[in-house]
Structure 1
Amino acid sequence: MDALLGIQDDGDPPFMSEVLSMRFAGFQQTFSRDLLASLVVFLVALPLCMGVAIASGMPPAKGLVTGIIGGLVVGFLAGSPLQVSGPAAGLAVLVFELVSQHGIAALGPVLILAGIIQVAAGFARLGAWFRVTSPAVVYGMLSGIGILIVLSQIHVMLDATPQAAGLANLLAYPQALTSALKQWSGEGSSGGCALLLGLITIAIMWTWDKKRPHSLRFLPGALLGVTAATLISLILGLEVNRVDVPSNLGDAIDFVGLSELALLANPALLMSAIALAFIASAETLLSAAAVDRMHQGPRSDFDRELFSQGIGNFLCGLVTALPMTGVIVRSSANVQAGAKTRLSAILHGVWLLAFVVALPFVLTAIPVASLAGVLVYTGFKLADPSVISSLKRYGRAPQLVYVVTAVTIVCTDLLTGVLVGFILSLIQLAVMASRLKINIVYDPEDESQAELRMTGVATFLKVPKLSRALDKIKPGTTLHVPLDNLRYIDHACMELLEDWERSHQADGCQLVIGHWALKRRLEGATHKT
């Protein structure tokens, strides 16, 4: 303990006051860094919490409630100390579909059940298993989500209402754009001005990402874009849709009652809860792993992180807020701003709560189109086409899984797309695991001796291929079958080899199998043959 505190052992125990003084000095050093980092994360989280809520078809205040719970509760319990939790764009599509089909009342019970599933998974120490997901499926899921966010939020940038499906949003563009442009002919629509504000927000975010001075790297582009768009709209007196936030935060809280819990009798809602729990957990733990690579501090405890996320989503369900995950955008901002402990994530929740309670009138001045611009920019970054080229080094199969997953999500829904991606990944795994290369090599000095060389996995799926190879063996051949290059051989292939020997004994054929190699492979013996 003395070594941890930096105290030299000179034979006499240190005075308690000296120990406390050193601890306080260490706390002061980390506190100043955590305080600054929490302010940076707060500035990043404020527009994103409201923007994700709008993209989810929910009031902006719901996103702020989730951000507050993510900071105050999950930040305190988290197994990944520097990860920041809150509403995530990755779940916006799932929530939008759920609310569109079953109403806002169904969201609370679904979130409660999803939180219970996550808590149970954390207790069962399943944290690492939620990370056993093909990267091609994960990237395809994020890309599909990004495309859907762009397709829906462009409508919001036009001060219009998005459709429930991605393709429907795409087909509705001509009418929405025509209606927005009518503003310039004096027909009263606010879509034209709203579109300009959204484009200004995107332009500022893009420019800030590319040209940001190093000394101001802690300032988020989203905050600058939203602030600029808000000031422009106020100075010019533009009549556009603005954020609707209640003056009392308690008005944004809708506690779940027994009548809402009864909705879980619907099998569709049960499946939604399972899907939400899985996707939220996978996104959280992948983010936690990414955060671990950004700093040299304590590593993440995935089971504890899963448990804390479950508690957070359970509480969000009780008050009918948005679901939460560990969010890589806010977490990376936290690390880059110099955060040292979990205090930064907790304080960012404090600032969100204080801002909503003390300055709600500031939020009501923000144009909805500007927040939609933030989400459009985020969606484009999620749907990064460069992922296809990065997957190329692993072969064409991962690229196919990525594209099919993303396209299926856009054309159908999130759950279907993810399931299709998993099925394709399993098919790819089965194909890779069943590959078998077969060569027959004759001894150039003795044509009666040949070797059947097999590399890979010999299963019943390869019986036809192996049978065709055996049919080409010349009469009178002694066939040697070394098994050292096989990862596995099943009984179907072994029986085929033995049947071949029995049926060709009359032709003078013999079979010599590397039995010791087989025994080592089947029994796990460590001795060499």
Structure 2
Amino acid sequence: MSDSSNGPPFFSWATIKNDVFPSIVVFLVALPLCLGIAIASGAPPAAGLISGIVGGLVVGFFAGAPLQVSGPAAGLTVLVYGLFEKFDIKLVMLVIVVAGVMQIVAGFLKFGQWFRAVSPAVVKGMLAGIGVLIFCSQFHIMIDDQPRKELVIGGVHLEAGLANLLTIPQAIGRVFAFDESKSHHLAAGLGLFTIAVIVFWKMAPKKFQLIPGPLLGVVLATLFSELFDVPIKRLEASIPANFFSSLVFPDLGIWMSAPVIEILMAAAGVALIASAETLLCATAVDQMHEGERTNYDRELIAQGLGNSVCGLIGGLPLTGVIVRSAANVSAGGKSRWSAIMHGGWLLLFVAFLPFLLKQIPVASLAAVLVYTGYKLVNPASIRELAKYGRSEVFIYFATMITIVATDLLIGVVTGIVLAACKLLYVFSRLEIRREGDPAAGKLTLRLIGTATFMRLPALASELEHVPGNVELHVNFEQLNYIDHACLDLLMSWEKQHEASGGSLVIDWDGLAARFHERYAEKNRGESAREASGADERSIDETLRSK
């Protein structure tokens, strides 16, 4: 995946106009996530909103992944919760600033490029796993219930992902209980109404689809709930009364007396996980659209700038977030202006117009995420991967299931390890078929797969069993690759075999033929240079003699 500078112009009114509605959709999706992740991290709700604003206005402006949207991420909640348990909030801010500086340095050192070498099966499995997690957790919120943090079955503690997945039937049962004292059935109805609007809006004429379906669904659901005074949960309990009073600024006295080693270790952990999640997310987002590709190092620097700013004003650490990014692409975002404007909407509404947000039903916003999660689990990608073998499908499902059962980082690492094991297997797989009758004085060794130094002992063993007086043919037709060590073995063995009365014939088809062509071209080039040098020496000598 290559970097590209062929995206839309930065200051293009047509692009900005196109990105207005997608930015509002992303804003509506980001708002509850910023609040929920802050609460789950043990931080003030405003800290999540600060990160969302910085993720738009700062990271969005400098981003190397134009359609990726940044903000506080679920993948960091456990780590950040531990920081708030261990440190005072002002020391946590110091950790975030140092983590941001580490990311900036890593970006300038070109470390971001390493994240480009990730198997498509891992990326698609990551998307599917995140999609399942989003769907399951937001399904509970869509019925005005609480997502499960864990589930104990037979003494076994299951993580939140599996807990939410396995308790979906229980949640559906609550909806159909029709308990008048509860709002589950009302919230579910409003959520399904929102999803229906999104789905059916796709069938509307293109000229009407200027308004994204998710935005229309949330607006209609809010109007409906207000008109009929539906008793369901709204955002009013989560919006801070005075946003600016929630900002936390550096205390240099505390920072100067901070435990340096502990701060550096904590910052390194935040920087590593945040960078991995961001750049893997960027790789996934690139596969969701046909526009400008990611500049990984620039994205890493932008994330570092964002985290440094967050730490200076009291925000949570941020990363690129697949939920918001997927919503951005799905709503029709075309440039970085969608991410930038979403940060502006967050600042405008939270700081100056909080009363407009307080009436939005939580179930309607959760329904948008339920639909987004469903879209991320794309069965078509499984059929696509199956064309490249069952191993790719296995890596896909292993990554997805591990993410759901544990967490994002463990799932991605599992996928990468499996992909590396597959690569190792491919480069160590060599089938050697021995054909012919030694009594007739002729044998054939057919090499199938990849001949590298790892399979050198097997090849040497086969050669040792060849009688000394036969003509051996080595067939390369089904060989994908042969390295210098195996070629050198064949050449050395040929000399020994000829000394014992035999001969070696290599069928230089395919890869071996190309090797000889390159070797011959090299020799011809050296001969030409030698001839040219001889001509020049002859001319010099003639001139000197005259």
* TM-score for both structures, normalised by structure 2: 0.74
Q: Which amino acid aligns with 1:265?
A: E
Q: Is the CA contact 1:66–1:324 (under 8 Å) kept in the aligned structure 2?
A: no
Alpha-carbon distance in structure 1 between the residues aligned to 2:494 and 2:231? 85
What is the Cα deviation at residue 215 of structure 1? 0.8
In the other structure, the counterpart of 2:541 is: none
Decide which of 385, 398, 404 is 1:404's aligned counterpart: 398
Question: Residue 365 of structure 1: SS of its match in structure 2?
Answer: coil
Q: Is the CA contact 1:33–1:338 (under 8 Å) kept in the aligned structure 2?
A: no
Decide which of 123, 126, 133 is 2:111's aligned counterpart: 126
Q: CA 1:414 to 1:524, structure 2 compared with 1: closer, same or farther past 3 Å? A: farther
In the other structure, the counterpart of 2:429 is: 435
What is the Cα deviation at residue 108 of structure 1? 5.3
Q: Which amino acid aligns with 1:275?
A: I
Alpha-carbon distance in structure 2 between the residues aligned to 1:264 and 1:169? 38
List aligned pairs for 1:77-156, cutoff 5 A. Answer: 77-79=62-64, 82-83=66-67, 85-87=69-71, 91-92=73-74, 94-98=75-79, 111-156=96-141
Alpha-carbon distance in structure 2 between the residues aligned to 1:38 and 1:506? 77
Question: Residue 522 of structure 2: SS of its match in structure 1?
Answer: coil
In the other structure, the counterpart of 1:383 is: 377
Equivalent residues, number: 484
Whether 2:33 is the aligned partner of 1:33: answer no
Alpha-carbon distance in structure 2 between the residues aligned to 1:216 and 1:60? 36
Alpha-carbon distance in structure 1 between the residues aligned to 2:26 and 2:417? 35
Q: CA 1:351 to 1:419, structure 2 compared with 1: closer, same or farther past 3 Å? A: closer
Residues 99-121 of structure 1, C-alpha deviations (whole Å, 9 max, x = no match) = 56665869756654553343122
Q: CA 1:212 to 1:355, structure 2 compared with 1: closer, same or farther past 3 Å? A: farther
Query: What are structure 2's unaligned runs of at least 5 residues?
Result: 1-8, 150-159, 525-546
Residues 343-374 of structure 1, C-alpha deviations (whole Å, 9 max, x = no match) = 66544533442233332111111122221111
What is the Cα deviation at residue 474 of structure 1? 4.4
In the other structure, the counterpart of 1:284 is: 282
Q: Is the CA contact 1:119–1:308 (under 8 Å) kept in the aligned structure 2?
A: yes
Whether 2:154 is the aligned partner of 1:169: answer no
Decide which of 459, 463, 470 is 1:466's aligned counterpart: 459
Question: Residue 394 of structure 1: SS of its match in structure 2?
Answer: coil
Whether 2:316 is the aligned partner of 1:321: answer yes
List aligned pairs for 1:485-504, cutoff 5 A. Answer: 487-489=481-483, 491=485
* TM-score for both structures, normalised by structure 1: 0.76
Q: Which amino acid aligns with 1:459?
A: T
What is the Cα deviation at residue 127 of structure 1? 3.4
Decide which of 29, 45, 61 is 1:48's aligned counterpart: 29
Q: Is the CA contact 2:53–2:346 (under 8 Å) kept in the aligned structure 1?
A: yes
Whether 2:239 is the aligned partner of 1:245: answer yes
List aligned pairs for 1:408-419, cutoff 5 A. Answer: 408-419=402-413
In the other structure, the counterpart of 2:298 is: 304
Whether 2:209 is the aligned partner of 1:224: answer no
Whether 2:469 is the aligned partner of 1:476: answer yes
What is the Cα deviation at residue 426 of structure 1? 0.2
Residues 396-453 of structure 1, C-alpha deviations (whole Å, 9 max, x = no match) = 1111100011011111222211111011000111112223343456699x94354545
Alpha-carbon distance in structure 2 between the residues aligned to 1:130 and 1:42? 27
Q: CA 1:497 to 1:463, structure 2 compared with 1: closer, same or farther past 3 Å? A: farther
What is the Cα deviation at residue 337 of structure 1? 6.6
Q: Which amino acid aligns with 1:169?
A: N
Q: Is the CA contact 2:21–2:212 (under 8 Å) kept in the aligned structure 1?
A: yes
Residues 250-271 of structure 1, C-alpha deviations (whole Å, 9 max, x = no match) = 2454457658986983968854
Q: Is the CA contact 2:141–2:147 (under 8 Å) kept in the aligned structure 1?
A: yes
Q: Which amino acid aligns with 2:189?
A: L
Residues 453-474 of structure 1, C-alpha deviations (whole Å, 9 max, x = no match) = 5355323442464356436634
Q: CA 1:460 to 1:506, structure 2 compared with 1: closer, same or farther past 3 Å? A: same
Query: What are structure 1's unaligned runs of at least 5 residues?
Result: 1-26
What is the Cα deviation at residue 325 of structure 1? 1.9
Q: Which amino acid aligns with 1:294?
A: G
What is the Cα deviation at residue 134 of structure 1? 0.7
Decide which of 291, 298, 303 is 1:294's aligned counterpart: 291
Q: Is the CA contact 1:158–1:191 (under 8 Å) kept in the aligned structure 2?
A: yes
Q: Is the CA contact 2:51–2:315 (under 8 Å) kept in the aligned structure 1?
A: no
Q: Is the CA contact 1:149–1:375 (under 8 Å) kept in the aligned structure 2?
A: yes
Aligned alpha-carbon RMSD (Å): 4.2
Of 492-501 and 427-436, more deviation after overlay is shown by: 492-501
Residues 133-165 of structure 1, C-alpha deviations (whole Å, 9 max, x = no match) = 111111111111111112211221232222231
Q: Is the CA contact 1:255–1:320 (under 8 Å) kept in the aligned structure 2?
A: no
Q: Which amino acid aligns with 1:157?
A: M
Q: Which amino acid aligns with 1:50?
A: L
Q: Which amino acid aligns with 2:285?
A: S
Whether 2:204 is the aligned partner of 1:212: answer yes
In the other structure, the counterpart of 1:157 is: 142
Alpha-carbon distance in structure 2 between the residues aligned to 1:107 and 1:390? 44
Residues 290-341 of structure 1, C-alpha deviations (whole Å, 9 max, x = no match) = 65x336xxx764432331122123323442236232764465478x5776xx
Q: CA 1:411 to 1:527, structure 2 compared with 1: closer, same or farther past 3 Å? A: same
Alpha-carbon distance in structure 2 between the residues aligned to 1:239 and 1:265? 48
What is the Cα deviation at residue 35 of structure 1? 4.2
Q: CA 1:239 to 1:45, structure 2 compared with 1: closer, same or farther past 3 Å? A: same
Q: CA 1:262 to 1:60, structure 2 compared with 1: closer, same or farther past 3 Å? A: same
In the other structure, the counterpart of 1:73 is: 58
Question: Residue 147 of structure 2: SS of its match in structure 1?
Answer: coil
